[in-house]
């Protein structure tokens, strides 16, 4: 049976603009936006700060018990809180991007995050983006989009974003990080990144933001016409 609320699942590769589309779509539909990558990044930040040994399951499980993640919306901008602290900026830094794939590959971490994500989408209409939303978190989501783009284009976009924020990185470093995360995300044992059979592919290599939003809005209109207000 279909859930009474509507779930739009947006999965895809690193840095292909999932969150930009998801945010815009949620705004347009008056849905709640959930950035699941930010949740894995927040866990990673906690693990880095507390020097959690990823090979020690007991340490990982104990750390997870001490992690509380919340989203807080303020004037259209969603902030992520790790145990009450706004870590929205910190989790985007390169040192977290370098660790996050290893942390998100851990079964215990995924179980804890998936549980929380399912709770978040159990009653409300949500647009959720990530890697396993249409396959593992909400396999019955009414709309599933799988986003992809040329890795070089993704690296250029991400490089611009990081350097505009003042991070000193090279384009090669960003490209390497994206390639590495693609590899880890698609080959890990626990819920690897893969397109759900019923997901619609959105390759945005040559699309601007407006065109992408139009594309996903069309798909939502077709699948759940009553969601459009």
**Of the listed pieces 56-64, 99-107, 204-212, 219-227, which binds ligand DC according to CB under 6 A?**
99-107
Instruction: Kindly state the tokens that stand for 28.
Output: 């347009």
Residue 132 within binding range of ligand DC, rule CB under 6 A: yes
DSSP letters spanning 12-50: ESTTSSHHHHHHHHHHHHTPEEEEHHHHHHHHHHHHHHT
Dihedrals φ, ψ of 105, to 5°?
A: -85, -10
Q: CA-CA distance, 48 to 26, in Å (whole number)?
A: 31
Smallest gap from Cβ 164 to ligand DC, in A, equals: 17
Question: Of 11 and 219, which CB lies nearer to ligand DC in the complex structure?
Answer: 11
- Helix (H) and strand (E) counts for the chain? 8, 8
In the shown chain, the binding pattern of residues 180 to 219 toward ligand DC, with x for contact by CB under 6 A and - for none, equals: -x---x----------------------------------
Under the criterion CB under 6 A, does residue 41 sit at the interface with ligand DC?
A: yes
**Positions 20 through 39 that interact with ligand DC (CB under 6 A):** 36-37
Please pick, from the candidates 23, 131, 157, 158, the single residue that binds ligand DC as defined by CB under 6 A. 131
User: Closest separation between CB of residue 222 and ligand DC, Å?
Assistant: 25
Of the candidate residues 6, 7, 29, 40, the single one contacting ligand DC (CB under 6 A): 40
Does position 157 interact with ligand DC (CB under 6 A)? The reply is no
Distances (CA, A) of 68 to 33, 39, 49, 63, 86: 18, 10, 15, 10, 12
Report the alpha-carbon distance of residue 199 to residue 10 in Å, rounded.
9
Please report, as ranges, the residues that interact with ligand DC according to CB under 6 A. Answer: 14, 36-37, 40-41, 100-101, 104, 130-132, 181, 185
């Amino acid at each position: 049976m279909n859930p009474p609320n509507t779930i739009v699942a947006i999965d895809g590769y690193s840095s292909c603009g999932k969150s930009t589309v998801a945010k815009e779509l949620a705004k347009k539909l008056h849905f709640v936006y959930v950035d699941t990558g930010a949740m894995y990044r927040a866990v990673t930040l906690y693990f880095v700060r507390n020097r959690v040994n990823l090979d020690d399951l007991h340490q990982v499980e104990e750390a997870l018990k001490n992690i509380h993640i919340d989203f807080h919306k303020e004037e259209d901008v969603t902030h992520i809180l790790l145990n009450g602290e706004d870590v929205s900026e910190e989790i985007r830094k390169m040192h977290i991007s370098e660790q996050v794939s290893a942390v998100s590959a851990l079964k215990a971490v995924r179980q804890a995050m998936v549980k929380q994500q399912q709770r978040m989408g159990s009653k409300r209409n949500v647009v959720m983006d990530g890697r396993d939303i249409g396959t593992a978190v909400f396999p019955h989501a009414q709309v599933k989009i799988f986003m992809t783009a040329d890795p070089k284009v993704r690296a250029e976009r991400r490089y611009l974003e990081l350097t505009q924020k003042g991070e000193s990185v090279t384009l090669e470093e960003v490209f390497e990080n994206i390639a590495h995360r693609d590899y880890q995300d698609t080959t890990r044992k626990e819920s690897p990144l893969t397109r759900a059979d019923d997901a619609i592919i959105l390759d945005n290599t040559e699309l601007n933001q407006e065109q992408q939003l139009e594309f996903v809005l069309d798909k939502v209109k077709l699948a759940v016409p009553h969601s459009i207000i």
